[in-house]
Structure 1
Amino acid sequence: MTAMLPRKALTSAVRKVIWEPTKNKAGGLSSQEMFLIVGQPDTLVHEVLFHGTRGNGKSACLLMGFAQHVGKGWGAYWRGVILRRQYSALRDLINEAEKVFPRLFPGATYNKSERTWTFPEGEQLIFQYIEKASQYEAKFHGQQFTYIGFDELTTWATDEIYEKLLSTLRTAYQPTARQPLMPPKQVRAMTNPWGIGKRWVKERFIDGKRNGEIECTIKSLIDEDGNTVEIEWKRCAIFGTIFENKYVDLEYKAWLMNIADPMLREAWLYGNWEVVDDTAMFARVWDRDVHILQPFEIPAAWKVDRSFDYGQSTPFCCLWTAEANGEAVTVGGKVFCPPKGSLIVCGEDYGTPLTPEGKQQKRDLGLLLSAGKIGARLKAREVKLQTTVLKNHARITAGPADNQIYNGSKVDEGTAPTVAKELEKEGITFTQSDKRAGSRITSAQIMFERLQATVDRNREKPHIYIFSGCKFLTRTIPDLYRDEDEPDSVAKGPDDHSWDALAYRLTWKRPTARVSYGIMGH
């Protein structure tokens, strides 16, 4: 028999609960409970992404992840920072902290000008914003944090700021009798599967992993005695849903369930990472099932050219593109006859270091090759294509390239070396691309129209297709966003080099007279 507390005593007991994690009605741990547990010293996971639907209590957990170690004996060495991309976005978190911290920690004070909470034993939590990587030096370089929190991680377009802040995750704490454990240094990030940085966040935390699965990597370092020490670094993603959160009112849940945009509803109500963010440039007209083709031999009568975006410290990209002439081809037993002028991107070489598993080692990192080495690599790739999908094309037309490959062409009466000249020595030639004012808008408009015509099966307009092997291009297109200052053009960003190579091709006019060919590789 369960003893019942008198109503007065029960009320008093309930009032002592200032905040508690949500409970899993089906049994087991809730997402919030899991989040707090992996922040404990004996069950520590260093990097955690708390993702899922809207209204699952992510932001409150970001505060409580820090608060659970206040008063535990680390004092000023337990120091945290919670970040948003812009200052205005911090207000809700600051307001939430003002509601609970004074009740949880009597004596805690908040400095509004510095946006810093200081707790009775010296712990500190700072609210800060950082929009550009260039702000890192002034705001964070040289600082030490044991708790770093990112709210709405996908609002940062790249992982550059995230990686830079990781360098501040350190401490000079020395164990004491009261607290013999080191502070559980940790990075915590919250997000929905929506926003300009969706791709890099998904690749880092979601792809190939189950919910709650802990990924372990070994990091080697040299200690002060010159010995190699191996440190285990753990990372995981925790999924949370609004249906766990009893504090969210029914009206809000109903609103989420009735969002008219099906893609937004999938992301915000179900936390689905696979939906295409319709704030992206081509989201409304991109369909992988339609635009991506399995490779086939390009007919001899279709013209083929190469286009190129140069990079050394950043990736370069060369695309081989076929232009259909209205002739049909049989693919997998089915007749494929795109309208005349349709483009089929049939080959790609993206110059970035890869892991043994074929994944990119680091976003926007180039191979640091000389122009001659790049030319030799592109030639080898082209020759290989000429044994497979381009078997019917012994000659490839020189298409457009990033015009910076001609830099230096007017030095020393034209005798100075240029990237273009070094590429040509390896049999890879290009022509000038259209870089006039407005060309970025034009290329985006052409792409949009071609994608739409392909989806609509419009026979009056040229289509665009991409072979499945062009993995960087097919991965990039759904995640291209509009430029904030020029909304009808694609925003510049990391790993957009395959798009740049394609954009040059979209605005290029194939010469009708004499064309320049690369040297044959056979």
Structure 2
Amino acid sequence: MDTVHFKITRKQKAFINATADEVMFGGAAGGGKSYGQLIDAFLFALKYPGSKQLILRRTFPELDMSLIRVSRELYPSNLYRYNAARHAGVFFNGSLFDFGYCDTERDIYRYQSAEYDVIRFDELTHFPEHMYIYLLSRVRGANDFPKQVKSSTNPGGVGHTWVKKRFIDPSPANMEFKTNNGTRIFIPSKVTDNIFLMNNDPGYLQRLDNLNEDDRRMLKDGDWDVNQGAYFGEFTRSIHVMPPFEIPSHWRRYRALDYGLDMLACYWIAVDIYGRAYVYKELHKPDVIIPDAARMIREMTDKDERITATYAPPDLMNRRQDTGKSVFDTFAENGVPLVKASNNRVQGWYAMKEWLHPFKDELGQTIAGIRIFSTCINLIEDIPALIHDKNNPNDCDTEPHEHTHGPDAIRYFIAGRPSPTPKPKIQDEERPRNNIQSFLSFGT
């Protein structure tokens, strides 16, 4: 067999040699991510005859213009051939690649009965989390070949938040870490790590410098603290997230919920005399039927909490043909009466942006119309994860769907036009004192 020579960077070598169950490679544009994937896949195929690998992009045109085209140019024809009808690459030793894509939700089920030794995601942040989690189950087989998921990506996109949470936040870069489901590692790579690109196209850095600040931070610097296209750019943890405090008993209290079998998201919200809202309690649970949902809401509502209204979207008023009852009816029968709130998405999101918009209070501190107790962990994660709909930038994208439930509930609360707490006769008694005052000061 002829000797095959590939030139690789130091970071590409680290990616190839990584043995963690889940490996994520990349960060900045031009770091050699896709090339590293193809070299790694080629070496694996030669080392383990008869092995099977799946290489994924979100859409087939992206796959065809990148990985498929480059693999045909890169791999020696005496070792490898591409079968266009099957979208598969076949090696002389029986190893194969399936070039796959998941353009729609149902595409993942095309791999329902498949078995792969390695699955490779190129541009992982283009995928929602549930697609990734489902396809993890396709890594299996009775042989003794290594089993891995190896991904590459830039920051930004629909999957930015969950990828950051899964690979970036838990551990320093280049350090393998353990989870309940195996081991993971993030190997960063910037354009300056790709000596071949730097030597052959030194003007590439300048072109990256010409991008707007967010794009430059993501594509040149590989900065994961930027989420391109975030709908609620106003959201800042230092302003909108606060330690819990004891809610004054006379403040108006509301609940708001978004319900479906995929998720029950319910929030308890207090409003002070200035009309400022405090999200102080969270119920976020999947696969809950209505009687159980109502029971959980009742149990989490203290006996002395006087709930002014529980807002919900109008589609829950639709009556089912088999029972003649609506979700509103069933919740009411189980002790949680609901109040209809508008479901005008664009108008509702705009109103929510106004509530989140920072301003100076009477003490000169930067505050906002709504803030969240630090115990409401899902809502705090979900709001900054929402991005603009690519077809209607005035609306939020419905993907990643798992991040939409909590913000939807807050949108219904705002659309319900909640009233402030009535001012007491002696207004000074309303003002929080001592340590509570410090909690109510935004930015603490």
Give the TM-score category using the shorter length.
0.7 to 0.9
Specify the alignment match of 2:299 in structure 1: 380
| Alpha-carbon distance between aligned partners in 2 of 1:411 and 1:96, rounded to the nearest angstrom | 55
After superposition, the CA RMSD in angstroms is 3.0
Give the equivalent residue in structure 2 for 1:362.
Answer: none
| Compared CA separation, residues 488 and 171, structure 1 to 2 (3 A) | same
Q: Does 1:463 align with 2:369?
A: yes
2:395 aligns to what SS in structure 1? coil
Aligned to 1:282: 232
Give the 3-state SS of the residue equivalent to 2:172 in structure 1.
Answer: coil
Distance 1:246 1:378 in 2: 58
Distance 1:456-1:477 versus aligned 2 partners, 3 A rule: farther
Match of 2:386 among 480, 484, 487: 480
3-state SS of 1:316 partner: strand
Residue 299 of structure 1: how far off its partner (Å): 4.5
CA distance in 2, matches of 1:246, 1:462: 47
Task: Tell me, in whole angstroms, the C-alpha distance in 2 between the residues paired with 1:297 and 1:473.
Answer: 20
| Pairing 1:203-242 to 2, within 5 Å after superposition | 203-216=165-178, 233-242=182-191
Deviation at 1:251, TM superposition (A): 1.5
Is contact 1:309–1:500 with CA below 8 Å preserved after alignment?
Answer: yes
| 1:37 CA displacement | 1.2
| 2:58/2:102 contact within 8 Å kept | yes
**Native 8 Å contact 2:156 2:228 kept in 1:** no
Contact 1:477 1:499 in 2 (8 A): yes
Q: Tell me by how many angstroms 1:504 deviates.
A: 0.9
Match of 2:111 in 1: 140
The equivalences for 1:299-378 within 5 A come to 299=248, 302-312=251-261, 314-326=262-274, 341-351=275-285, 366=286, 368-378=287-297
1:294 is aligned to 243
Q: Which moved more, 1:59-68 or 1:115-124?
A: 115-124
Whole-angstrom CA distance in 1 between matches of 2:96 and 2:361: 60
Query: Which residue of 341, 350, 373 corresponds with 1:445?
Result: 350
2:396 is the alignment partner of 1:490: yes
Match among 163, 169, 194 for residue 133 of structure 2: 163
Tell me how far apart the structure 2 counterparts of residues 80 and 410 of structure 1 sit (CA, whole Å): 47
User: 1:243 and 1:141, CA in 2 relative to 1: closer, same or farther beyond 3 A?
Assistant: same
Q: Assess, with a 3 A threshold, how the Cα gap between structure 1 residues 410 and 53 changes in structure 2: closer, same or farther.
A: closer
CA distance in 2, matches of 1:128, 1:411: 41
3-state DSSP of counterpart to 2:302: helix
TM-superposition CA deviations, 1:109-138 (whole Å, max 9, x none): 22334333222222222322211230233x
**8 Å CA contact retained: 1:423, 1:429:** yes
Residues 34-76 of structure 1 show CA distances to partners (whole Å, capped at 9, x for unaligned) of: 21112xxxxx32221113222111111110111112333x43x
**Aligned pairs, how many?**
409
Residue 308 of structure 2 is aligned to residue 397 of structure 1: yes
Are 1:255 and 2:207 counterparts?
yes
1:333 corresponding residue in structure 2: none
Contact persistence 2:115–2:139 (CA under 8 A): yes
The residue type paired with residue 380 of structure 1 is E
| Cα shift at 1:456 | 6.8
On the 8 A contact 2:386/2:403 being kept in 1, the answer is no
Deviations 1:232-291 (A, max 9, x none): x43322222222210123221233345331x3333222322223x1302112x2222222
What residue is the counterpart of 2:12 in the other structure? 32
Question: Which residue identity is paired with 2:376?
Answer: C
- The 1:478–1:456 alpha-carbon spacing in structure 2 relative to 1, beyond 3 Å, is farther
Matched, 1:509 2:428: no
Are 1:287 and 1:455, in contact at CA under 8 Å, matched by a contact in 2? no
Q: Output the CA distance in 1 between the equivalents of 2:168 and 2:419.
A: 46
Task: Compare 423-432 and 471-480 and name the one that shifted more.
Answer: 423-432
Q: What is the distance in 1 between the residues matched to 2:419 and 2:41? A: 63
Distance 1:462 1:51 in 2: 36
Partner of 1:179 in structure 2? none
- Identical aligned residues as a percent: 29
SS of 2:165 mapped into structure 1: helix
- Alpha-carbon distance between aligned partners in 2 of 1:457 and 1:485, rounded to the nearest angstrom: 37
Q: Secondary structure at the match of 2:203?
A: helix
Please give the per-residue CA displacement for 1:108-167, whole angstroms capped at 9, x wherever unaligned.
Answer: 222334333222222222322211230233x323233222111000111x2222233223
3-state DSSP of counterpart to 1:54: coil
Q: 2:192 matched to 1:192?
A: no
2:27–2:223 CA contact under 8 A, matched in 1: yes
- Which residue of the other structure, out of 108, 130, 140, is the alignment partner of 2:80? 108
Change (3 A) 1:171 1:374: closer
Which residue type is aligned with residue 194 of structure 1? G
TM-score by length of 2: 0.82
Change (3 A) 1:457 1:200: same
TM-score, normalised to structure 1, is 0.71
Q: 1:199 to 1:115 in 2, by over 3 A?
A: same
Give the secondary structure class of the aligned counterpart of 2:73.
helix
Higher gyration radius (CA): 1
Asked whether the 8 Å contact 1:280–1:478 carries over to 2, the reply is yes
- The 1:422–1:287 alpha-carbon spacing in structure 2 relative to 1, beyond 3 Å, is same
CA distance in 1, matches of 2:265, 2:313: 10
Alignment partners' CA distance in 1, 2:321 and 2:90 = 62
1-structure distance, mates of 2:224, 2:235: 16
**Counterpart for residue 332 of structure 1:** none
SS of 2:112's partner is coil
